[in-house]
Structure 1
Amino acid sequence: MSLIQQLKARAADHKPVRVAIIGAGKFGSMYLSQVPRTPGIHLVAVIDLSPDRAKASLARVGWSEAQYSAKSLAEASKTGATFITDDAQAVIASDHIDMVIDSTGSPAAGVHHALLCCEYRKHIIMVNVEADVLAGPLLARRAAQAGIIYSMASGDQPALIAELVDWARTIGLEVVCAGKGTKYLPIYHQSTPETVWGHYGFSEEQVAGGDFNAQMFNSFLDGTKSALEMAAVANGCDLLPPSDGLLFPPCGVDDLPHILRPVSDGGILAQKGTVEVVSSIERDGRPVFRDLRWGVYAVFEAPSPYVMDCFAQYGLKTDSTGRYAAMYKPYHLIGLELGISVASIALRGEATGATGDWRGDVVATAKRALKAGETLDGEGGFTVYGKVIPAADSLRLGGLPIGLAHHMVLKRDMAAGQVVSWNDVDFDTSKQVVKVRREMEDMFRREWKL
């Protein structure tokens, strides 16, 4: 049966998939708008540091107060209503929950919630790419040991890219490059929460009327979110990032197989099997023809002359040699698509993108010249942006992960564009998230004999 047929069967048997979501921000709100329309799913709990904010999100997406009137998890489970709380641990530990969605965006919170899910054996959908890139390869191993599924979130670009990569490899094609589109200019690496709306072209009225967070949106613009997402793809698809960060070449969908092929064949890639993000604008600001700003892609190579002929016969756009071609999805609907992950895990026992080996890492990089004594303010802030590099290189550099570059004080001056290392900052070794990250580094250092 299809997913929707299985969900309808669960609804008819009064055995819904019981879900809790942590974080009622933009991504969470998009899922909240859809879950009441999905048979066989019961959103038992919404967890947010501010229950009032969660209620406001529910109201904004069309929920009635009666739908979130439950006073406890037990009442929610019995009545079909939803319980709102700020106590994530109590919900994860509850017998009334099968699956947890972390959409907090906080690396420390995401790591903590994932470890709780391992302890209480609850499947987890990690919308929180910040936490996944910070410690996902270790968390995925812990989840496997606990017998639970640790999954990317369908609708978010890493999961959709992983789907394309899996499709290509499953039919016997070698993936040369995979990634997504975005709006990028080199100057964006210096963007701050004060300049972000001008770069996006949003009016004051638009910003005031929606759930817009300046630092979060700036993390997309300054390259950090792209770096995080490509590290997640690298780790989930056995691909490598470029050695010195993403190139962000301007590229439309028709040029994907021409530009994203190896240098030896006339493209820009140092090697096959990498990740890259393409820009929807040329370096002079002109729009790219048939851009992929909202979409994802995978470039693959024909393994034989016969397959090259098939590409041509069925109208596939290729490079000039006919060897390289691309498949793409022009849009992604982020939280609106999250129900695919919920259903896939509950009904098929399959993740929608699964973190594996540690291939890519995102290191904090100075946006401007920084002085000793300055406090780093993390992704999307005023001080650093995230650069994706191979994980082995990050280990050799002692790179400070962008997910931990919050509230750390610099011990020395940093030049603009310089990677920040653990040795450049003071940090609290007693924090759980720091311990987990350092444990992962030590684990791979031993495995790789570095």
Structure 2
Amino acid sequence: MALLPSPERDRTPICLALTGANGQYGRTLVAQLAATPEIRPAVLVDPDVEGVRAMLTDLGFAADRVGVGDTAEEADRLVAEGRTALVRDQDALPWDRLDVLVEASGKVGPGCAYAAGAIGHGAHVVMVSKEVDTVAGPALFARAASAGLSYLPADGDQPANLLRLLAWVSAVGLDVVAVGKAGEYELFYDPEAGTITQAEETIPAPDFAGLVTLGDDVAGTIAARAEQVAALKRAAAADSCEMTVVAQRTGLGADVEELRYPVVRIDELADVYALRDHGGLIEHDGVVDVCTSLRLPGEASFAGGVFAVVRTGDPVTWELMRDKGHVVSADGRYACIYWPYHYMGVETPLTVHAAVDRAPAPAPRSTVLLAGRTVRDLSAGTELQVAGHYHEIEGVTTAIVPNAPGVLPFYLLDRTRLARDVPAGTLLAPEDVAGVDQTAYDLFTEGLSR
């Protein structure tokens, strides 16, 4: 079936550059651009040029429509000929040909340089690299706004999806109590086997049957569930990073700096994220958090979705909503509105269009900071490096804290070395480390006044 009519299809083609093109997110976006011909993948940036070429071959790109540009002049010629230029780094970007940069490198130093370079050359920025956003988002947004450009988080990742959900919630006049997302890996409970599975790992959970429903003691049940799954990793730096992106654009914050990660089923969210005085977990309104999604056989996955818990109004209205299958707390005070998906690059064309159209967007402010707190004593000379699937640093955990002078963002710690001995429990400061990326640090300090 052909695409349904859409005004976006009729616009002049948008020339797009994508960094981190050979990553998972990059592939999902490039694949989707085959169905959105008004957005042209003009330049794909990745040190692994051959890997990008192999991906394009796998996606059905004709070999004669792709070329390697080792210099900006070569890349410019390829784009002018209507081909896709594969480049290794920023030095080979033909900026004058580009309308939008999608930054998906996932690395703070290069990502800051790419985004600042795009804005400096008159290109809009769609930010996939949440690590960059937590460090430099306020400064990059302000620079873009001053230049008449857009700087937007990418639809398809949870921060932008949650912000879009919140825009709807706000527009209809609902009172937000808590917002959040499901962690990357949900838990699957098999009652017959008495086991819980997370990704490829399965553990025995013989006593979980009595915890399948919340009961009257919500906090007690949540604590007991946490005990049952203590052997499984649930918290991840990437989750705190994404919630910081949301917090900086909404004025919300974490009520516990490490986030709560309650093990919860979708239909329990309105009870769990109620105020403590009403039997829930949270201390005050305006909380960002991450839950660990739990499902049983036959239940749909939350699929890394996003949610907003709101206060209800008219009891008759919300009992009607409950009858229609919506998630309303047992006492009727709260409801949960959720989107059970995030489709990565499949959704990102939405943001590319929004960027070109200069769609209004909330400005990120340095209200909160994603900091790094040591989890054990670390000695001078210890090398700190963001590594692994979860983009974490050994010996340092993330902490969402109110922004204050003298605290360094977590992702600015990447590829640094401790300048002195640091005891456990320390929020790391600029004087604690050597080797901070200067471009990223300058953008961070520039954004502190925003």
Structure 2 matches for 1:87-126, cutoff 5 A?
87-91=89-93, 93-94=95-96, 96-126=97-127
Q: Deviations over 1:186-235 (max 9, x none)?
A: xxxxxxxxxxxx97428xxxxxxxxxxxxxxxxx9651000000000111
Q: CA deviation at 1:39?
A: 2.3
Give the partner amino acid of 1:85. V
Residue 317 (structure 1) aligned to one of 321, 327, 333 = 327
1:287/1:414 CA distance change after superposition, 3 Å: farther
Residue 359 (structure 2) aligned to one of 338, 350, 354 = 350
Taking structure 1 as the reference length, what is the TM-score of the superposition?
0.80
Give the partner amino acid of 1:236. R
Structure 2 matches for 1:59-74, cutoff 5 A?
59-69=57-67, 72-74=74-76
Q: For residue 49 of structure 1, give the secondary structure of its aligned residue in structure 2.
A: coil
Q: For residue 264 of structure 2, give the secondary structure of its aligned residue in structure 1.
A: coil
1:405/1:102 CA distance change after superposition, 3 Å: same
Please name the residue that 1:43 is paired with.
Answer: 41
Aligned 8 A contact 1:236 1:355 in 2: yes
Q: CA deviation at 1:381?
A: 4.6
CA distance in 1, matches of 2:4, 2:412: 38
Aligned 8 A contact 2:318 2:328 in 1: no
Aligned 8 A contact 1:92 1:116 in 2: no
Residue 406 (structure 1) aligned to one of 390, 400, 414 = 414
1:335/1:417 CA distance change after superposition, 3 Å: farther
Q: CA deviation at 1:30?
A: 1.3
Q: For residue 341 of structure 2, give the secondary structure of its aligned residue in structure 1.
A: coil
Q: Deviations over 1:305-343 (max 9, x none)?
A: 465455346442211221211111212111222112112
Q: Deviations over 1:368-401 (max 9, x none)?
A: 4422221111353552444242333xx15x3221
Higher deviation after alignment, 62-71 or 101-110: 62-71
Aligned 8 A contact 2:177 2:287 in 1: yes
Give the partner amino acid of 1:129. K
Please name the residue that 1:160 is paired with.
Answer: 161
Aligned 8 A contact 1:231 1:388 in 2: no
Please name the residue that 2:19 is paired with.
Answer: 22
Aligned 8 A contact 1:174 1:303 in 2: no
Q: Deviations over 1:6-44 (max 9, x none)?
A: 23223xxxx211111111111111111111221212111
Q: For residue 415 of structure 2, give the secondary structure of its aligned residue in structure 1.
A: strand
Q: Aligned-residue CA RMSD in angstroms?
A: 3.0
Structure 2 matches for 1:183-202, cutoff 5 A?
200-201=199-200
Q: CA deviation at 1:89?
A: 4.8
Aligned 8 A contact 1:47 1:87 in 2: yes
Please name the residue that 2:368 is paired with.
Answer: 360
Give the partner amino acid of 2:308. A
Aligned pair count reads 399
1:262 pairs with 2:280? no
CA distance in 1, matches of 2:42, 2:253: 39
Aligned 8 A contact 1:7 1:39 in 2: no
Give the partner amino acid of 1:328. Y
1:433/1:378 CA distance change after superposition, 3 Å: same
CA distance in 2, matches of 1:344, 1:3: 19
CA distance in 1, matches of 2:75, 2:407: 42
Q: For residue 328 of structure 2, give the secondary structure of its aligned residue in structure 1.
A: coil
CA distance in 1, matches of 2:185, 2:33: 33
Please name the residue that 2:244 is paired with.
Answer: 231
Aligned 8 A contact 2:374 2:426 in 1: yes
Please name the residue that 1:194 is paired with.
Answer: none
Q: For residue 176 of structure 1, give the secondary structure of its aligned residue in structure 2.
A: strand
1:300 pairs with 2:310? yes
Q: For residue 280 of structure 1, give the secondary structure of its aligned residue in structure 2.
A: strand
CA distance in 1, matches of 2:161, 2:335: 18
Higher deviation after alignment, 308-317 or 98-107: 308-317
Aligned 8 A contact 2:14 2:38 in 1: yes
CA distance in 2, matches of 1:426, 1:124: 30
1:3/1:92 CA distance change after superposition, 3 Å: farther
Q: Deviations over 1:235-264 (max 9, x none)?
A: 123321224221111111101110112112
Please name the residue that 2:288 is paired with.
Answer: 275
Please name the residue that 1:438 is paired with.
Answer: 445
1:160/1:3 CA distance change after superposition, 3 Å: farther
Higher deviation after alignment, 325-334 or 310-319: 310-319
1:387 pairs with 2:387? no
- Kindly, what percent of the aligned residue pairs are identical? 26
CA distance in 2, matches of 1:279, 1:416: 27
Q: For residue 160 of structure 2, give the secondary structure of its aligned residue in structure 1.
A: helix
Taking structure 2 as the reference length, what is the TM-score of the superposition?
0.80
Higher deviation after alignment, 408-417 or 247-256: 408-417
Please name the residue that 2:213 is paired with.
Answer: none
Q: For residue 175 of structure 1, give the secondary structure of its aligned residue in structure 2.
A: strand
CA distance in 2, matches of 1:142, 1:51: 30
Query: When you count helix as a share of all residues, which structure comes out higher?
Result: 1
- Unaligned residue ranges in structure 1 (runs of 5+): 186-197, 203-219, 445-450
1:250 pairs with 2:263? yes
Higher deviation after alignment, 325-334 or 123-132: 325-334
1:405/1:81 CA distance change after superposition, 3 Å: same
Give the partner amino acid of 2:163. A
Please name the residue that 1:330 is paired with.
Answer: 340
Structure 2 matches for 1:140-155, cutoff 5 A?
140-155=141-156
Query: When you count strand as a share of all residues, which structure comes out higher?
Result: 2
CA distance in 1, matches of 2:27, 2:119: 25
Aligned 8 A contact 1:175 1:300 in 2: yes
Q: CA deviation at 1:127?
A: 0.5
CA distance in 2, matches of 1:97, 1:153: 18
